[in-house]
Amino acid sequence: MPSVIEVTDLRKSYAGRAVVDGVSFAVEEGEIFGILGPNGAGKTTTVECVEGLREPDAGRVRVTGLDPVADHERVARVLGAQLQQSELQPKLTVREALELYASFYPDPADWRPLAERLGLTARLGARFAKLSGGQRQRLFIALALIGNPRVVVLDELTTGLDPRARRDTWRLVEDVRASGVTVLLVTHFMEEAQRLCDRIAVLDKGRIAALDTPAGLIRRSAGATVISFTPSVPLDDHDLAALPAVASIARKDGRITLSGTDETVNAVITLLARHHVTAHELRVTDATLDDAFLDLTREATA
C-alpha cells in the first residue's frame, strides 16, 4: 500500500535562504506522524507544501497519490487542516462556523455528532470571540474534520493553552486517530510529541536530523539513563569518569548527576558498595524526548 503522504527531497527557499533543504519522509495510513523542531526549523513551510498552500522549489509531494498543487481541489477533499494561526470572524457563532464549513464540501460529516464528540454542543450559540483557547482549538479540529478527510494536519495545535486544556486536546487527537484518520502533527512541545506520535521527524535548519519512534529517538540520546544521588562521603572524579558508558557528570550542592546506560547504573551501585558509600535520595530515571532533541539538534548544528 502506498503511503498516505510522501515527501521526497523537498526544497523551499525565500530570498535565497533555504528554509527546507532536502526533506524526505512518508506517513503511513492510521499513524500519528510528528514533525518536531525549534522555531525556524522549516516545520510549517514543510506542511504548507503538503497542504498545497505553497509550491515547492524542488522535490516531490504526494497526498494519497495526488499533487497538492496541481490537484488542489481533489486533495482538499481528503486532507483537513488546522493552521498554525487560525481566526474566525468574532461574531460568528460555533453553529454558523460549522454550517459554513460543511457547505464547502460535497459530502460533509454531520456536524452535530462531531460537535458533541468534541464537547462543543453546549457552546453552539456562542460567538467565536467569547470562546476560551481550548474551545477554539476544539472548534478548529471540528472544522478540519468536517470534510471527512483521510488525513488531517494539525500545526502547533496546543500553543498558548494551559496544561489542562493541552492534555484535553491530546485526548481529542488520540480520538481522531482512533476514528481512522491519519494525523500529521507539527509541534515544538517534546511532551506532546512523546505522548502522541508513532514516529517523529526532527527538523533542524531545514533538514531532517533524525526520523524514528519516540523510544528510538530517546535511545539515541547520549545518556539514555540519568542517575542522581548525594553520597555520604565525597567520590573521586576519576572513579566516576571510569564508569562504563558514562556520558556526563555534574555536581551541584554535593549532589552527583550522571547520564549513561543501564550498565552505568549497575557500575554506580558496585562503586558505592566497594567504597562503603551510602547514596542518599538515589534517583534513576530514563531520558526524555527533550534530552534526545537537544542531543540531535546539537549534532545537527555542529
Question: Do residues 203 and 232 share a domain?
Answer: no
Range of the structural domain that residue 30 is part of: 3-213
Residue identified by cell 535511545 is 219
* Amino acid 301: pLDDT: 45
Question: Do residues 67 and 128 share a domain?
Answer: yes
> Does residue 161 lie within any of the structural domains?
yes
**Average pLDDT estimate for 31-36:** 95
Question: Do residues 207 and 232 share a domain?
Answer: no
* Amino acid 223: pLDDT: 58
* Amino acid 300: pLDDT: 46
Question: Do residues 151 and 253 share a domain?
Answer: no
**Average pLDDT estimate for 144-164:** 87
224 versus 178: the higher-pLDDT residue is 178
Q: Is the pLDDT of residue 221 over 80?
A: no
Instruction: Tell me the average pLDDT of the chain.
Output: 89
Among 213, 235, 265, where does a domain finish?
213
Question: Do residues 19 and 161 share a domain?
Answer: yes
Question: Do residues 100 and 200 share a domain?
Answer: yes
Q: Please name which of 160, 157, 161 lies closest in space to residue 143, comparing C-alpha atoms.
A: 157
Total number of domains constituting the chain:
2
Question: Do residues 36 and 133 share a domain?
Answer: yes
H-state helical runs in the chain: 43-51, 72-76, 94-102, 111-117, 133-145, 163-178, 190-196, 214-219, 237-241, 262-274, 289-301
* Amino acid 122: pLDDT: 94
* Amino acid 298: pLDDT: 64
* Amino acid 90: pLDDT: 94
Question: Do residues 172 and 207 share a domain?
Answer: yes
- Cα 271 versus chain centre, distance: 39
pTM: 0.78
In CATH, what number is assigned to the domain containing residue 78? 3.40.50.300
* Amino acid 5: pLDDT: 97
Q: Is the pLDDT of residue 220 over 90?
A: no
Among 194, 213, 232, where does a domain finish?
213
Q: Please name which of 160, 213, 164, 212 lies closest in space to residue 189, comparing C-alpha atoms.
A: 160
124 versus 87: the higher-pLDDT residue is 124
> Does residue 184 lie within any of the structural domains?
yes
* Distance set, CA 180 to CA 9, 148, 190 (Å): 28, 10, 24
> Does residue 296 lie within any of the structural domains?
no
> Does residue 293 lie within any of the structural domains?
no
> Does residue 301 lie within any of the structural domains?
no
Residues 80-117: tens digit of each pLDDT: 998 767 789 999 999 999 999 999 988 898 999 889 88
Question: Do residues 134 and 271 share a domain?
Answer: no
Question: Do residues 267 and 158 share a domain?
Answer: no
* Distance set, CA 204 to CA 22, 163, 168 (Å): 12, 26, 29
Question: Do residues 75 and 115 share a domain?
Answer: yes
* Amino acid 222: pLDDT: 57
- Cα 243 versus chain centre, distance: 35
218 versus 22: the higher-pLDDT residue is 22
> Does residue 294 lie within any of the structural domains?
no
> Does residue 121 lie within any of the structural domains?
yes
In CATH, what number is assigned to the domain containing residue 267? 3.30.70.980
Residues 241-282: tens digit of each pLDDT: 999 988 889 999 999 999 888 889 999 999 999 999 999 999
Among 213, 234, 267, where does a domain finish?
213
Question: Do residues 51 and 77 share a domain?
Answer: yes
DSSP 257-295: EEEE-HHHHHHHHHHHHHTT--EEEEEEEE--HHHHHHH
> Does residue 233 lie within any of the structural domains?
yes
- CA-CA distance, 238 to 181, in Å (whole number)? 54
